[in-house]
Amino acid sequence: MKWMKGIGLLLIANILIMVTLSLTVPILINVILPMFGIDVRDSVDLSSLVWAAMFGFGGAFISLAFSKQMARAMLNCQQIIQPSSRAEQVVYGSVQEIAQRLHITMPEVWVYDSPDPNAFATGPSKNNSMVAVSTGLLQNLREDEVKAVLAHEMGHVYNGDMFATTVLAGLMNTFVYYIAMWVRRFFAERDQAALGFGLSLVLQIIVSIFASIVISWFSRHREFGADAFAARVYGKDSMIGALRAIDRWVNRAQFEYSTQDALATMKISGKTGGLMSLFSTHPPIEARIAALEAL
């Protein structure tokens, strides 16, 4: 089955990452760094680094492997296999057309019940993915704008954005786990295990917050790339029109996502402000429109 193949490939990739780390880290620590007068051989615990990498990358890749199943479980969605309406035909036909252009396996196509105009793509690889749109997107956007949003999501699929984000998350997680493990070991060697455990938890929370900022920044950067992809497929005017239609809907709804919607940072609207904007996975619509107009 395709999903089992995707999981297998991700597990192989994870193993290869672990093997690479186990081979390159000793060379870096014992050979390369000493050549430049940097000696950290007594301060780096290789086993802790490997364990941190296993936890960091393992969790990230397992989440990616089951991302489609988790998305379907969280949403009231229905798969489109045989389109039965004009709207379903537009969604299914657009995804099919773009997949054929790109010579990739057509993603699963789903529609989920939600009033806000939104769409997302997920899956472990470009040949094992899904694209989902909300009923609100179909109700509030013109056909050409819906197609542009679908092209945007297919841009994420084709560019491997989900995989790239997962690798970054794995690196950040590894960093977080390693710091926590180092702090625990440091205080345990001084017979202060309880203090070390408490400090490691605090540091883990603090470093995780900073890691989330880095991951969110990368996600926002990839959004501009997906917008540019949509512009190449259907023209930038359609994508600009889609973003403006979404912005009008948000303004008409008269509430701020950042305070009333726990998933605001994951949505196209990107309506966040202040410090919360650092954790937004989508740039402000105004910035995205400006980038498209500059193409």
Catalytic residues: 153
Task: Provide the strand spans (E) within the chain.
Answer: 77-79, 108-112, 119-125, 128-134
Query: How many other CB atoms sit within 10 Å of the CB of residue 20?
Result: 11
132 vs 108: CA distance, rounded Å: 8
User: How many residues make up the chain in this entry?
Assistant: 295
State the helix-helix crossing angle for 67-74 and 46-65, rounded to 10 degrees. 50
Task: State how far the alpha carbon of 117 is from the alpha carbons of 134, 136, 137, 214, in Å.
Answer: 6, 4, 4, 27
Task: State how far the alpha carbon of 221 is from the alpha carbons of 45, 173, 208, 275, 294, in Å.
Answer: 34, 20, 20, 18, 16
Nearest to 268 by CA among 291, 292, 238, 244: 244
State the helix-helix crossing angle for 236-253 and 193-234, rounded to 10 degrees. 130
